[in-house]
Amino acid sequence: MSTLVAAILASLLMFWTALLLGGCGRSSATPTGDFNDSRRQIVTTTGMVGDMVSALVGSDARVETIMGPGVDPHLYSPSRSVAVKLRSADIVVYNGLHLEGRLGEVLASRSGDPSLTIAIGELLPHDRLLDADAGVHDPHIWMDVSLWSEAVGQLADRLAAIMPEHADAIHARAGDYRRQLSELDQFGEASIASIPASQRILVTAHDAFRYFGKRYGIEVHGVQGVSTISDAAIRDVNRLVDMIVTRKVPAVFFESSVSGRQVKAIVEGARSRDQEVSSDWELLSDSMGARGTSTGTYIGMMQHNIATITTALGGAVDQNPTAPVSEPVSEQDVATEPNT
Amino acid sequence: MSDPVEPLRAVDVTIAYRSTAVLERVNFATPPGTLTAIVGPNGAGKSTLIKAALGLIQPAIGHFLFFGKPFSQVNGRVSYVPQRTSVDWDFPVTALDVVCMGLYRQIGWLRPVRSKHRKLAIEALRSVGMEDFRGRQISQLSGGQQQRVFLARSLVQGAELFLMDEPLAGVDASTERTIIDVLRRLRDQGQTAMVVHHDLDTVSDYFDRVLLLNKRVIAEGPVADVMQPALLKEAYGGKLLIFDQSRQAISDKLERHP
Amino acid sequence: MTTFETLFAYNTLVVLAGTMLLGVAAGVTGTFLMLRGRALAGDVIGHAALPGVAIAFLIYAAIAPDAGKSLPVMLLGGAISSGLGMLSVLWLRRVSRLPEDAVLAIVLSTFFGLGVVVMPIVQASPTGSQAGLPGFIFGQAASIRQSDVILLATIALATIIGSAMLLKEWTLMCFDEGLATVLGYPIRLLDFLLMSMVVAVCVAGMQSVGLLLIVALLIIPASSARYWSDSIRPNIWISALIGALSAGLGSIASAMVPKLSTGAIIVLVAACLLVASMLVGRRHGLIFRRLKPLESA
C-alpha cells in the first residue's frame, strides 16, 4: 500500500514540478492591473497585434498580450486561465485568417457584441491578401509594413467607434504610428533593393514571408508550409537544397518560434554538395523578441528582420537613424545547439 | 550414482492463496532411486506442490530440501517437465530447439549452441523415439510427441531428480509406454522421479511409491501401503462410488504385485 | 529535379539510412517483444515518452535558459518516462487484480495524458516552440541529419549485438519462464534488459516515425516474419529485413510524391508487406496452405 502512495506522490510531484517550471519560464502576459481600474480591458493574441493596439490606445485602456516572445501562434493552445481572459475581456483584437489556429473555439464562444472581437485580417481588403492552400488566406500580414499600416488605420476607426471618448487621441496616435511605419517601409524597400538581384532569395523555416517577399521584391521559400502544423516532406527538402546549390544562395534563416531542424537538414544537404551556406541568422517571423529589448516591438522586430536579411544576402542596410547597426546575430542570441 | 541423501524433502510446507489454504503442513521425504506418483482429487494442490518445490511459488511457511540443500544450490540436478497446456505451441521453435534448452545452463551465458550440444539433444530425442521429428515446429507435433520432446529436454539436463506435472495426460498409448520405459530406465540408474499422475488405475503398474494429497498429506509410502480403500476414501471424499469397481481392480492388482 | 537526382540526393540518402537503421533495430527488438507476449507494451512505452520529453525540456530551459533546446536531454527525459511507464505496468500487474490489457490502457493514457497537459506549457514558453514537440509525436523523418543517423546506427548495432548475445536466454524466457526460473536464470534482469532495448528503440524512433507510430514498426515486421519461418533466428533476420524494407520504400515514396508524411507512409508500407506475407509467406501463407495441406504428424 505504501508503494502505491509513494508512486502517486512521485507522479504528482513530477506534474507540479512541470507546472512550476512552465510558470517560471513563461513571460507571456503583462500584469492585469488592479480591480479598481475603470479602463477597458483589451486582450490581444500575438505581440505584433498587441503592439499595434498599445500604440493606438496608449494608456487609455489596459492592453494584455497572451502570446509571449518565441511562441508559435499556429500551435499555441490556451490554458484555462487564458481562455477565461479571452472570454471575459471587454475587447479582443487578434490577427485572424486562421493564424491562431487553436483559439477558434474560445473566440467563437465570446458572448456580447460581436464588434468587440476584432480580427485584423478581416479589416483588410481581400485583394491585398495572398492565397494559401485549401482556399484560406496566408495570415502573415504583418510582414508587409505598408499593409500593416493600412490595418492600423482601419483598427483606429474601429476602436474610436467603440471608445468615442478617446477617439481623437486614438486617431492622433494612429497618424504618428503610421508615419513611423512609413519610414520603416521605406527602410525595408531601400535595404532589400540593395541586395544583388541574383542573391535576392529568402529561405526560411516556414512560409511566413510571402507578404514580405511580395512587398519588398524578394523571392521567398519556406521549408514547411504556411502553417507549422505539418512536417516538411523529403521532396521539399531536396528541392530547396538543389535550388540553394544551383543558384548559390548565400544564406538561410532560422526562425525564433519554429524548430530549426529542417533548416539544419538543408544546410547539411548543401554542404554535401560543397556549398557552404551561412546559417547564423535568426529571424523573428511569428513573434517578436523579448520584452524590453530592441526587438520587443513591432518596429524593432521588422528592423531586425530587414537588417538581418539584407546583411546576410550581401546587401547594404539603408542608413537610417532608426535602423540598428547591421551585424549577424551572435551565437548567444540564436537558440541553436552545437551538436544537433 | 545419486546422492544417498533423499532427493526431495518437504518440511512443513504451507501455501496460501488469498487466505485460502492450498497446501497445509506438507511433510514428506522421497528416497532415491524411486518412481513416486503424486495423486489426489482436483484442487488437491499437486501442481502447486511441484511449482513450490521449484521456487515458482513461494510457500507461506516451510521449505524444501533437495539432496539436503536448498534449490538454488542444486540447480543442475533437478529437472522439470511442465503441464502441456502451459506452453505456447505457436512459438517458432523446433523440437530440437526445445531439447537444446535443457543444455542452456551448461552452455553458459552469451555462448551459442554448438553442434556438440545438438548431438546430445539428438541423442535425448532418440531415447524417446523422436529423433526423426527434430526439425518440426512444435505445433506440428501430436500431444504425445510434444510430451516426449519435453521429456527429452528433461533428460538432456543430466538431472538426478525429475519433477513432472501430468506427463501422461492425454497422450496415446505408445507415448505412455515410451515415457514409462524412460522413467524406469532412469530409476534403474539410480535417478528419482516424482510425477503428478491423474489415473488411479495405472498407479500400481507404473510407480513404486505414492504421495496421496488433498491439501495435506493423507499418506506417503510404497504403492501397496498407500493405495488402500480407507486412505483413498479419505483423500477423495464422497467420490468413493466411482471407485467401487476400480477398488476391486486395485485390490486384485495389489494381491498380484505386493 | 529528375527522379535519379531525387533518389540519390544527399538528404534522401540520409533519411533512407536513418529510417532503415530504425527498421532493423525495431524489427529485431520487436521479434522478442512479440515472443514475450508484450506487443502492446511497445505502444505504452512510445506514448509514455511524451511527458518525459516535455518535462526534460522545461527543466533544461530553467537551468540553462540561454542554451536553447538540447536534444540529448529531451531524449533522455523521454527514455526515463518510458522506463517509468514500463515499471508502472510491471508493478500494477503485480499488485493489482486488474487484467493485463486494463493495466496497459491505464498506464498509456495516464502518461500520455500528462504529456498532453504539459505540452501547452512548453508551447507557451519563449523557446518552447523550437522544441518541436509535435515532431516527436508525429515524426519528422524528412529532416533526419547525420547526427540522427549516428544515434540510430548505434542503437541498431546494440540491438543486433544484444540479441546475438542473449538469444538463448531471451528465447527461453519468452518460451518457458518456468524452466528459465528453474534453471536459475535471473528473469527480472533479462526482462529489464529486453525492455531497455525497447525503450531505446522507441526513443530513437520518436524523431523519425513519431512515438504514436513506433509501435507499428516494432510489431508489424515481427508479425510478418512469422509467415516466413518457424525458427527463431530466421525470424529475427526476416523481421529486421522487413523493417528496413518498409522504412526504405516508405522513405522513397515520400521523396517522390508531394505531401506524404514519411512516418505514416512507412507504417502503411509495413502493413502492406504484412498482408503480402500472410498471402505468400513460405511457411504459413494462405497460398501455401491451400496448395499443400500440412502433413499430419
Examine the pLDDT at A222 and tell me if it is beyond 60. yes
Residues A269, C9: C-beta atoms closer than 8 Å: yes
Q: For B93-119, what is the mean pLDDT? A: 91
Going by DSSP bridges, is the β-strand pair A251-255/B8-17 parallel, antiparallel, or unpaired? Answer: unpaired
Residues C181, B93: C-beta atoms closer than 8 Å: no
Examine the pLDDT at A333 and tell me if it is beyond 60. no
Residues B92, C181: C-beta atoms closer than 8 Å: no
CA dihedral of residues B183, B187, B191, B196 (deg, nearest 10): 50
- The predicted pLDDT at position A29 comes to 45
- Closest in B87, B91, B136 to C35, CB measured: B91
Reported as half-sphere exposure (CB side, CA atoms, 13 A), residue C83 has a value of 12
8-state DSSP, A102: T
- The predicted pLDDT at position A325 comes to 38
Share of chain A above pLDDT 90, in %: 60
Q: Name the band, by pLDDT with cuts 50, 70 and 90, for residue B56.
A: confident
Examine the pLDDT at A7 and tell me if it is beyond 80. no
Examine the pLDDT at B173 and tell me if it is beyond 60. yes
- Closest in C123, C130, C259 to A260, CB measured: C130
For chain B, the chains sharing at least 3 beta-carbon pairs closer than 8 angstroms are C
List CB contacts (< 8 A) between B52 and chain C: none
Residues C259, A233: C-beta atoms closer than 8 Å: yes
| Number of cross-chain residue pairs from A and C with Cβ atoms under 8 Å apart | 199
Examine the pLDDT at A108 and tell me if it is beyond 60. yes
List, as ranges, residues 76-105 from A with C-beta within 8 Å of C: 76-79
Q: For A140-165, what is the mean pLDDT? A: 95
Q: Which residue has the higher pLDDT, B157 or A18?
A: B157
Say yes or no: B73 contacts chain C, CB-CB below 8 A: no
Q: Name the band, by pLDDT with cuts 50, 70 and 90, for residue B244.
A: low
Least confident span in A2-6, A161-165, C167-171, C237-241: A2-6
Q: What is the distance in angstroms between the Cα of C134 and the nearest Cα belonging to chain B?
A: 38
Touch between chain C and chain B (3+ CB pairs, < 8 Å)? yes
Say yes or no: B16 contacts chain C, CB-CB below 8 A: no
Task: Tell me the three cell numbers of residue C75.
Answer: 531524449
Side by side, which strands form the sheet with B20-30? B20-30, B8-17, B61-65
Residues B94, C231: C-beta atoms closer than 8 Å: yes
Residues C230, B92: C-beta atoms closer than 8 Å: yes
Say yes or no: A258 contacts chain C, CB-CB below 8 A: yes
For residue A39, CA distances in Å to A113, A161, C232 come to 18, 16, 75
Examine the pLDDT at B213 and tell me if it is beyond 60. yes
List CB contacts (< 8 A) between A73 and chain C: none
| H/E segment holding residue C282 | none
List, as ranges, residues 44-83 from C with C-beta within 8 Å of B: none
Map residue C103 onto helix, strand or coil. helix
For residue B216, CA distances in Å to A104, B59, B166, C58 come to 72, 14, 19, 61
Q: What is the distance in angstroms between the Cα of B41 and the nearest Cα belonging to chain C?
A: 24
Say yes or no: A280 contacts chain C, CB-CB below 8 A: no
Residue of chain C whose alpha carbon sits nearest to that of B81 = C179
Segments of chain C with pLDDT less than 50:
295-297
Judge if ipTM > 0.90: no
Say yes or no: C279 contacts chain B, CB-CB below 8 A: no
pLDDT digits (tens, 9 = 90+) for B217-228: 888 999 988 888
Which of C118, C129, C152 lies closest to C48 in space, CA to CA? C118
Residue of chain C whose alpha carbon sits nearest to that of A257 = C129
Residue of chain A whose alpha carbon sits nearest to that of C114 = A15
List CB contacts (< 8 A) between C69 and chain A: 335, 337
Residues A7, C91: C-beta atoms closer than 8 Å: yes
Whether C57 and C128 have beta carbons less than 8 Å apart is answered as: yes
The beta strands (E) that lie in chain B are given as 8-17, 20-30, 35-39, 61-65, 78-81, 161-165, 192-196, 209-213, 217-222
Least confident span in A269-273, B2-6, B211-215: B2-6
Residues C142, A236: C-beta atoms closer than 8 Å: yes
- The predicted pLDDT at position C279 comes to 92
Whether B17 and B33 have beta carbons less than 8 Å apart is answered as: no
Among C36, C182, C223, C239, which would you mutate to test the B interface (most chain B Cβ atoms within 10 Å of its Cβ)?
A: C182
List, as ranges, residues 175-204 from B with C-beta within 8 Å of C: none
Give the span between the Cα atoms of C163 and B175, in whole angstroms.
36
For chain C, the chains sharing at least 3 beta-carbon pairs closer than 8 angstroms are A, B
Say yes or no: C260 contacts chain B, CB-CB below 8 A: no
Examine the pLDDT at A329 and tell me if it is beyond 90. no
- The predicted pLDDT at position A201 comes to 94
Q: Name the band, by pLDDT with cuts 50, 70 and 90, for residue A100.
A: very high
pLDDT digits (tens, 9 = 90+) for A291-321: 889 999 999 999 999 999 999 998 888 875 5
List CB contacts (< 8 A) between C231 and chain B: 92-94, 97, 137
8-state DSSP, A287: S
Rounded (to 5) percent helix, strand, coil in chain B:
45, 25, 30
Residue of chain C whose alpha carbon sits nearest to that of B52 = C182
Number of CB atoms found within 10 A of residue A226's CB: 24
- Closest in B54, B92, B145 to C182, CB measured: B54
Residues A233, C125: C-beta atoms closer than 8 Å: no
Examine the pLDDT at A340 and tell me if it is beyond 80. no
Residues B101, C175: C-beta atoms closer than 8 Å: yes
Question: Could you give the angle at the alpha carbon of C78 between the alpha carbons of C75 and C80, nearest 5°?
Answer: 110
pLDDT digits (tens, 9 = 90+) for A276-288: 999 889 999 999 9
- The predicted pLDDT at position C183 comes to 86
